[in-house]
Chain A
Amino acid sequence: MQPEINTFAVERIITPKGNRKGINFKGFFHSFTGYKKHIALTIMFLPVAVYFIIFRYIPMYGLTMAFKDYKFSLGILGSPWNGFENFERIFAFQTFYRALRNTVVISLLKLVAGFPMPIILAIVLNEVRHLKFKKVVQTVSYLPYFLSWVVLAGVFIQLFSPSTGVVNYVLGMFGIEPIYFLGDNAWFRTTMVVTHIWKDIGWGSIIYLAAITGLDLSMYEAAICDGANRFQRIWHITLPCILPTITVLLILNIGHLLDAGFDQIFNLYNSAVYETSDIIDTYVYRIGLNDMRYSIATAVGLFKNVIGFFLVVSTNYISRKISDSGVW
């Protein structure tokens, strides 16, 4: 019997009777000897494995809290199961649907308004020939990416202030009443989208710019010979050529639809605008940690994680198919 050695237990066993499938116990247990053979590597890997088990997989087990009536004194293991009761309750909450709606709406707004912006920036940057100016603009545009939303909240709260803020001051010069950008449900989402674009446009343009600079110049020269102007060259050459990059990033973005920007919203929202700004993550935070309704909050979190999982995996799969490259 000549089993083909591999690391899995089920193997083809070649016998005089021809190929047969069987469970190769010997090969399976044999594979564990590799740990002793490469003992240094095993020791190196041990803390890594321990970390993932403790801090990533045990919390996954903690998701069972979503199906239990968690009591702190009893712990996760000791708390009684209550089936889907938590889910029935959250699906009856108006606040849950509000959070879900806000998450999707804000994400879609950011996608529609925000996704094209880095592309436009990359294209415009590419058209500029003055190298120094280009470098300066790029350096300046990356800056907001490196700052935390705590700092940026400080900046925007100042700028958008209805009393002392610049924006309202300028609006006042046109005779417009002060707008409570961060306190008015009618304006909050717009403010979120605009500030999000402001923060990400520079950093987001890097990938597109890299793709554009990799394009073959002879295409452009041929187009000029045919009489194409700048705009036509962009529309008919640049854009179609970076379409794979755009598609991959668009699909990956869709995979994160349920992450609507916790850092940003948490630092900028307040109870006056929960109606339009409370997203799933902020909702989970409030009912879980402020109200301490752990089971309910875990149930909402599980809901989001499961849907998010399918979204991310399927969009990754699709983007891989399209361009032969994904996140991994």
Chain B
Amino acid sequence: MLKNKFTIFDVICYVFLGLLSLTILLPFIHLLTLSFSPSYVATTPGLHLIPNPADITFDNYAKVFTSKFIWIGYKNTLIRTVFGTAIQLLFTAFGAYVLSKKFFPHRTFWTFIIVFTMFFGGGLIPTYILVKQLDLINRYAALILPNLISAFNLVIMRNFFSSLPEDYEESCMIDGAGRFTIFFKIIVPLSTPIIATVGLWLVVGHWNAWFDVLLYIQNDIKFTLQIVLRRIILSGTQQLIDMTTAGTFYEETNSSVEGLKAASIYVATIPILCSYPFVQRFFVKGIMIGSLKG
């Protein structure tokens, strides 16, 4: 029985949403255009949205792609994302599975000490000193181990495992299957939603992680994409030259500092931008599972 009249209120709503979307999209379109712009366009102030076809140049991207640092960054980010997420998922799931079993000894105690870490921790300096003393500086392990298991993720997974029916497992145990077999052959396939959700959170976390690299990695051969990007964005012209190519900067008139920075941002972000539309449904579902039930 709702009236279908299109009122002034609706106009305000649509305008508000439209403006919001524009404020989010426009900066990215502007940056995209900038990345394809030659220097005489890139250095003129103003909003660049649609490039003049005569003014498109691929020089910025050429410079970025020929930079060895971008490829190093990609390689390291991929290594850390793939291995890190896999290992983290495995151990988080182990912990969640065990703690979902009511007969596990001292279950309350273990749950408490894990949840406690959500509220209190050593902080930056003690953790840094620990990693240093464990001789993990400059190692991939330093990017994976310190945050191996997030208590929050573990609790979410545990709640999910608790909701699975126990009859399956019991009948399999009677048939002689071991715990690990049950875990991998039954629990995991049943848990794909939660594994996908937590896994995606971890993947995005790894892809975007920069602070731990800043802290623990000094060897530039192990820099991840975000750190390379950070250096490019926050640096002056000289470092930009070092980062992007070897000294041919002034011979080209087409690339510029702004153009290079914009191109670098896109090169680093393209995977996320491309996969994002398909993947965002999982995240939205995940946050519902996490907060409404967990």
Q: Indicate whether A176 reaches chain B with its CB closer than 8 angstroms.
A: no
Question: Measured between alpha carbons, how far is A76 from B129 in the docked complex, in Å?
Answer: 9
B291 touches A124 (CB 8 A): no
Identity of the chain B residue whose Cβ is nearest the Cβ of A295 in the assembled complex: B125
How many angstroms from the CA of A299 to the CA of B46 in the assembled complex? 47
B186 near A: Cβ within 8 Å? no
1/0 per position for A121-151, CB-CB distance to B under 8 A?
1001101100001101101111110111011
Interface bracket on A:
35 or more
CA gap between A132 and B71 in the complex, in Å: 38
B125 and A327: CB pair below 8 A? no
Residue A80 is within 8 A (CB to CB) of chain B in the complex: no
DSSP class of A's interface residues: helix, strand, loop or mixed?
helix
| A172 vs B20: C-alpha distance when bound (angstroms) | 23
Looking at the assembled complex, report how far the CB atom of B278 sits from the nearest CB atom of chain A, in whole angstroms. 11
Query: A309 with B119: in contact, given A144-B24, A164-B43 (CB under 8 Å)?
Result: yes
Query: Which of A18-26, A57-65, A98-106, A184-192 makes up part of the contact surface?
Result: A57-65
Residue from the list B42, B94, B155, B261 in contact with A154, Cβ < 8 A: B261
Q: List residues of chain A with CB within 8 A of the CB of B98.
A: 41, 44-45, 48
CA distance A288 to B284 in the complex (A): 38
CA distance in complex: A134, B178 (Å):
49
Complex CA gap A140/B105 in Å reads 48
Contacts of A297 in B (CB 8 A): 124-125
Binding site for A on B (CB under 8 A): 1-3, 7, 9-10, 13-14, 16-18, 20-21, 23-25, 27-28, 30-31, 34, 42-47, 91, 94-95, 97-99, 101, 103-110, 113-115, 117-130, 133, 145-146, 148-149, 152, 154-155, 178-180, 183, 204, 207-211, 215, 226, 229-230, 233-234, 258, 261-262, 264-265, 268-269, 272-273, 276-277, 280, 283-284, 287-288, 291-292, 294
- On A, residues with C-beta under 8 Å from B are 7, 31-35, 38, 40-41, 44-45, 47-49, 51-52, 54-63, 65, 75-76, 121, 124-125, 127-128, 133-134, 136-137, 139-144, 146-148, 150-151, 153-159, 161, 163-166, 168-170, 172, 198, 201-203, 206-207, 210, 220-221, 224, 229-231, 262-263, 266-267, 281, 284-285, 288-289, 294, 297-298, 301-302, 304-305, 308-309, 312-313, 327-328
Interchain residue pairs A-B with the least CB separation, the first 10: A59-B122, A62-B126, A40-B179, A34-B105, A148-B208, A48-B95, A301-B123, A59-B126, A154-B233, A169-B45
- Could you pull out 15 A-B pairs where Cβ atoms are within 8 angstroms? A7-B105, A32-B105, A40-B178, A41-B179, A56-B122, A62-B122, A128-B14, A151-B229, A151-B268, A158-B258, A170-B47, A207-B287, A229-B9, A298-B125, A328-B115
